[in-house]
Amino acid sequence: MQVDILTLFPEMFEGVFQSSILKRAQETGAFQYNTVNFRDYTTNRHHKVDDYPYGGGAGMVLSPQPIFDAVEQIKQKHDTNPRIILMCPQGETYTQKKAEQLAQEDHLILICGHYEGYDERIRTHLVTDEISIGDYVLTGGELAAMVVIDSVVRLLPGVLGNQESARSDSFSTGLLEHPHYTRPAEFRGLKVPDVLLSGNHQKIEEWRRKESFKRTLERRPDLLEGLELSEDEKEWLKK
């Protein structure tokens, strides 16, 4: 997967993808990224990327020209038809489902702003998706772009080793993960549930499924809406 990131602060990305799984994903060729400073695409003398809002008011607005030109040049270079994603608090709230969809693509372009707003024509005539990572406002789209890239790249084929991918991720099953324990069986008087030490795999599986369901019900009941529940799960819900 090719990922291009439009940003006025390319240095923010230095280092973040240079460790652990994302580093390995680049070494194996599963993923490569490139930062593009769209200030380099400005055609005005002062390399200004923003301007005052028509109609007046506070704050500046990112101009369409450098962003359109940068995106068009990237598309030409790779000869692809990428998803073009605007990072902004007004976008659709990011979910694991969206990460799974984006992981099917060969090329993504992420646009990060740092100002009051984007010229509306960027939204209406350039981008294919608008993503928010949550209902809070960041100083810019860069951290949000990193979140999206991290969560997408780990889903690419071959990026996670067996050890890592065998885990039933929270959300990918639609439920939160069940509790995990490791040695010792007793720590400061706190015991690991007997069933996990029993060696009975069917019982362990049942316990995990139930705990996963209970945890979701307690912490994120909204996730259960629209899920197809098993007969057991319907019983647990009544209790």
60 forms part of the interface with ligand ADE (CB under 6 A):
no
Q: Please check whether residue 160 is in contact with residue 154, taking contact to mean a CB–CB distance below 8 angstroms.
A: yes
Sequential DSSP letters for 111-136: EE--SSEE-HHHHHHT-SEEEESSSS
Q: Is 64 one of the catalytic residues?
A: no
132 forms part of the interface with ligand ADE (CB under 6 A):
yes
Query: Which positions from 138 through 167 interact with ligand ADE, judged by CB under 6 A?
Result: 138, 141, 144
Q: Which of 216, 207, 203 is nearest to 177 (CA)?
A: 216
Determine the interface stretch with ligand ADE among 73-81, 129-137, 189-197, 228-236 (rule: CB under 6 A): 129-137
Using CB under 6 A, which of 59, 134, 184, 193 touches ligand ADE?
Answer: 134
Residue 176 CB, nearest distance to ligand ADE (Å)? 22
Query: What is Dmax (Cα atoms) for the chain?
Result: 73
Give the CA dihedral 68, 71, 77, 81, nearest 10 degrees: -110
Structure tokens at 36: 């593009």
The reply to whether 189 sits in an annotated binding site is no
Using CB under 6 A, which of 36, 85, 122, 133 touches ligand ADE?
Answer: 133
The reply to whether 135 sits in an annotated binding site is yes
CA–CA gap between residue 112 and residue 170 (Å, rounded): 28
> By C-beta, is 130 or 233 nearer to ligand ADE?
130
The reply to whether 52 sits in an annotated binding site is no
The reply to whether 74 sits in an annotated binding site is no
The reply to whether 176 sits in an annotated binding site is no
Secondary structure (3-state) at 19: coil
Residues 70-109: x where in contact with ligand ADE by CB under 6 A, - otherwise, as a string: -----------------xxx--------------------
**Total residue count of the chain as it appears in this document:** 239
Q: Please check whether residue 155 is in contact with residue 103, taking contact to mean a CB–CB distance below 8 angstroms.
A: yes
Distance of CA 40 to the CA centre of its chain: 27
Q: Which residues contact 56 (CB under 8 A, 6 or more apart)?
A: none
Catalytic residue selected from 89, 123, 208, 211: 89
Q: Is 51 one of the catalytic residues?
A: no
22 forms part of the interface with ligand ADE (CB under 6 A):
no
Contacts with ligand ADE by CB under 6 A lie at 87-89, 132-134, 136-138, 141, 144
* Residues annotated as part of the active site: 89, 116, 154, 169
